Copies of this chain bind each other. A is one copy, B any other.
Amino acid sequence: MGRRALLLLLLAFLAPGAAITLRPTLRTLGSLHLPTSSTSRYAVARNYSVHYFQQKIDHFGFTIMKTFKQRYIIADKYWKKDGGSILFYTGNEGDIIWFCNNTGFMWDVAKELKAMLVFAEHRYYGESLPFGHSSYKDSRHLNFLTSEQALADFAELIKHLKRTIPGAENQPVIALGGSYGGMLAAWFRMKYPHIVVGALAASAPILQFDNLIPCGVFMKIVTTDFRKSGPYCSESIRRSWDAINRLSNTGRGLRWLTEALHLCNPLDSQDIQHLKDWIAETWVNLAMVDYPYASNFLQPLPAWPIKVACQYLRNPNVSDSVLLENIFQALNVYYNYSGQAQCLNMSETTTRSLGSQGWSYQACTEMVMPFCTNGIDDMFEPRLWDLKEFSDDCFNHWGVRPRPSWISTLYGGKNISSHTNIVFSNGELDPWSGGGITEDITDTLVAITISEGAHHLDLRASNPLDPSSVLLARTLEVGHMKKWIKDFYGRAGKEELRDF
């Protein structure tokens, strides 16, 4: 499937009145962990080995007996056979090297937990392609891209590690993950509690399904981030949409907009929805990566990037053209903080790695996340969640139809209180926190809130500018993990005694 078709699909999804923000889903979950120069450097400094494990393509059927190579990473510098543990990253929708490099927390706690680190790549991403280059060929080839298959991969991989690594067999394994990986970590503990003693699910929006929460929550949080980051900031953005609509009514206005926003390609009237979606997506991305220190994703960003962007958006009561010039300045924080960009490329943000393709398929099957805006509680143009239209778009693009209730049927939705040993951490700045577990459910199903945190800040490497809320969160997380490990060894001791 060519990029062109995909692009059309994305545009189709984002047509006015259509279900908004498959795009934020795609983008945010799909491209959060793109490799950067700094993390690449980091990778070199770290000591790990890359391995491959032969996985069944279909764990849930017996006709297809083929296998594929799942990639995984092991780092065992601090691992102790005596009393140690295994921290297992449940890889999400992307190259596992990126996750490995962007989950500094695991590296930071390895010594304290005497832990072997394992990062398992999610099937259909990175190098773990069930059908090689044909993996994305059609829905038949994509049929095995589900969370259930991914969890089964993890289970089989852990059994393999325990069988083959001397000393690993009788050690507790803890699942960790962020974002979709955090959902997988939580679900892994729920479905395979015999394999992992607990899970740290960071920024895991397990309630972002099946109308378990209102569809507007996500964009409302994005809006709150902007509102709190500068006076009139969200109001300026709210007004910008109509300004764009007005300006784009004429050829002259379109030419002016092209210039004012420093776009690489001239706008025509067909592009306006795409332009607005691209801008909206930028605000969403900024909300997710609103970290307290300079960070480096697709583009280098300053510390607290929303605050920086909002400096340009202090006055909503200006002419349309001044407002859009201000919007450009704010966009420029995201796209050109380094000052290197000659122009802003709208199609660049729709550049999709394989990872985003995969997530688009997952969003069209299991991971159906309703999003909507009303323009009142949020700063965006109103858009309803339209399942029918979403489903038709999915069918046209992938040949499949979403099953919007399946995830809650399978994993329990809000009704998960019978499970144990899961820590759900969420940053209050993170739009995904709206779909997260943010209150304790039981003594062992615990919510940790990071008031100054964006998307799984806690999983990132320790930084001198880390706010105290994330330091506390990490301390609590380590405490829970230590308890799970201790309990495991306590049980193991008892079982030895009674010759289980």
State the A residues within 8 Å of B (CB).
56, 59-63, 65, 139-140, 142-144, 146, 148-149, 152, 155-156, 159, 191-195, 365, 399-401, 403, 405-406, 409-410, 412-421, 491, 500
Contacts and interface: CB of A to CB of B under 8 A. Distances in A.
A61 B143 contact: yes
Contacts of A139: 62-63
Given A418-B420, A420-B418, A194 B412 contact: yes
A149 B60 contact: yes
A80 to B, nearest CB: 23
A195 B419 CA distance: 13
Contact of A400 (B62, B194, B420): B62
Given A61-B146, A194-B415, A418-B420, 17 more contacts: A60-B146, A60-B148, A61-B143, A62-B142, A62-B143, A62-B146, A63-B140, A63-B142, A63-B143, A63-B400, A155-B409, A191-B191, A193-B412, A193-B418, A194-B416, A195-B412, A418-B421
Point out which of A60, A415, A500 has the most chain B C-beta atoms below 10 A from its C-beta.
Answer: A60
A146 B418 CA distance: 25
Given A139-B63, A156-B409, A193 B148 contact: no
B401 A62 contact: yes
Contacts of A409: 152, 155-156, 159, 195
B148 A194 contact: no
Main SS at interface, chain A? loop
Q: How many copies does the complex hold?
A: 2
Contacts of A156: 409
Given A418-B420, A420-B418, A194 B413 contact: yes
Nearest to A421: B418
Contacts of A412: 192-195
A86 B63 CA distance: 36
A486 to B, nearest CB: 16
A152 B63 CA distance: 20
A419 B420 CA distance: 9
Contacts of A143: 61-63
A194 B191 CA distance: 12
Contacts of A416: 194
Contacts of A413: 194
Contacts of A59: 406
A403 to B, nearest CB: 7
A297 B417 CA distance: 43
Contacts of A159: 405, 409
A400 B60 CA distance: 13
Contacts of A405: 159
29 contacts: A56-B403, A59-B406, A60-B60, A60-B61, A60-B146, A60-B148, A61-B144, A61-B146, A62-B142, A62-B400, A62-B401, A63-B143, A63-B399, A63-B400, A152-B409, A155-B409, A155-B410, A156-B409, A192-B412, A193-B418, A193-B419, A194-B412, A194-B413, A194-B415, A194-B416, A194-B418, A195-B412, A414-B500, A418-B420
Contacts of A62: 139, 142-143, 146, 365, 400-401, 403
Given A155-B409, A194-B418, A401 B65 contact: yes
Contacts of A63: 139-140, 142-143, 399-400
Nearest to A406: B59
